[in-house]
């Protein structure tokens, strides 16, 4: 199993910056733009490290003789970066809320679930875009390295991932337009039951 070493997110980052600058008020955006992009980078990096950790565990568990220390380390890494991922998503949503605060409680109720900032948050959409970017890089790597018999399946998966990305990008643009039009962005911090403090090395 080939585990990719890196993913180039630069085009995605440029696209997201373009979306923010196109659909949000530039004066408001300027207050948080650098922080927003930094948390998007943190989110992408966390998702990639989570991919690497999980793929390493899967590959190791397929061996006749497994390295239990490696599996333990990688499973802890997946959980740790998973928590970093949640914090980055929350930070993205919080930053948008800071420049588009809830000033009129009457406006909070969405017309439908599609307009609900919590159900369909900007952070979640960006999270999905980074995940699909990783998937496409992984599939492309397998296509480049794999047998001819796997080529059709990898091409199909790349196209499916591209479709996911295109749909999410379109909805993200609509969501940003909606935020600017209604003048507020609602968010509720994602609560976690995991507590990673005090975890000890069992080896």
Residue 36 belongs to a domain:
yes
In a domain, 198, yes or no: no
Query: pLDDT band for position 199 (50/70/90)?
Result: low
For residue 97, the model assigns a pLDDT of 96
pLDDT digits (tens, 9 = 90+) for 96-123: 999 999 885 555 566 676 788 888 899 9
Q: In sequence order, what are the residues at sequence separation of 6 or more whose Cβ sits closer than 8 angstroms to the Cβ of residue 83?
A: 192, 194, 196
At 167 the pLDDT is 97
Spatial contact of 120 and 176, defined as CB atoms under 8 Å apart: no
- 134-181 residue pLDDT tens: 999 999 998 888 766 788 899 999 999 999 999 999 999 999 999 999
Beta carbons of 76 and 198 less than 8 angstroms apart: no
Answer yes or no: is 105 within a domain: yes
Q: Please indicate, yes or no, if residue 86 is contained in any of the structural domains.
A: yes
Query: Is residue 1 a part of any domain in this protein?
Result: no
End-to-end CA distance of the chain: 27
Write the DSSP symbol of residue 107: G
The answer as to whether 194 is a domain residue is: no
pLDDT at 71: 94
Confidence band for 201, pLDDT divided at 50, 70 and 90? low
Does residue 79 contact residue 193 with C-beta atoms inside 8 Å? no
**pLDDT in the model for residue 103:** 80
Residues 6+ apart with CB under 8 A from 182: 107
pLDDT at position 200, please? Answer: 64
* Angstrom distance (rounded) from CA 136 to CA 162: 8
Position 105 scores a pLDDT of 53
Residue 46 sits in which domain range?
10-182
> What pLDDT score does 114 carry?
72
What per-residue confidence (pLDDT) applies to 196? 67
- How many folded domains does the chain comprise? 1
CA distance 68 to 84: 24
- Mean pLDDT of all residues belonging to the chain: 90
Q: Which residues contact 64 (CB under 8 A, 6 or more apart)?
A: none
pLDDT at residue 44 in the model: 98
Which 8-state DSSP code applies to residue 111?
S
When pLDDT is averaged across residues 22-38 and rounded to a whole number, the result is 97
How many percent of the chain have pLDDT more than 90?
73
What one-character DSSP code corresponds to residue 119? T
Residue 133 included in any domain: yes
* CA dihedral angle for residue 139, residue 142, residue 144, residue 147, rounded to 10 degrees: -130
Instruction: State residue 115's pLDDT score.
Output: 80
Burial 75-106 (b: 16+ CB within 10 A, else e): eebbebbbebbbbbbbbbbbbbbebbeeeeee
Domain annotation covers residue 131: yes
């Amino acid at each position: 199993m080939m585990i990719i070493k890196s993913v180039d997110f630069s085009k995605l980052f440029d696209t997201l910056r373009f979306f923010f600058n196109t659909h949000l008020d530039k004066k408001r955006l300027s207050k948080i733009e650098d922080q927003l992009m930094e948390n998007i980078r943190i989110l992408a990096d966390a998702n990639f490290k989570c991919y690497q950790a999980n793929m390493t565990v899967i590959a190791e568990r397929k061996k006749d003789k497994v390295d239990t220390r490696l599996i333990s380390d990688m499973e802890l890494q997946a959980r740790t970066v998973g928590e970093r991922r949640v914090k980055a998503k929350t930070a993205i949503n919080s930053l948008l809320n800071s420049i588009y605060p809830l000033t009129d409680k009457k406006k909070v109720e969405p017309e439908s679930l599609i307009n609900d900032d919590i159900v369909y948050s900007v952070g979640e959409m960006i999270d999905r875009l980074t995940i699909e970017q990783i998937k496409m890089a992984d599939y492309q790597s397998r296509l480049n390295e794999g047998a001819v018999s796997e080529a059709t399946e990898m091409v199909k998966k790349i196209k499916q991932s591209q479709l996911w990305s295109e749909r999410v990008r379109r909805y993200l643009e609509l969501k940003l337009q909606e935020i600017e039009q209604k003048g507020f962005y609602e968010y509720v911090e994602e609560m976690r039951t995991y507590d990673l403090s005090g975890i000890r090395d069992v080896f």
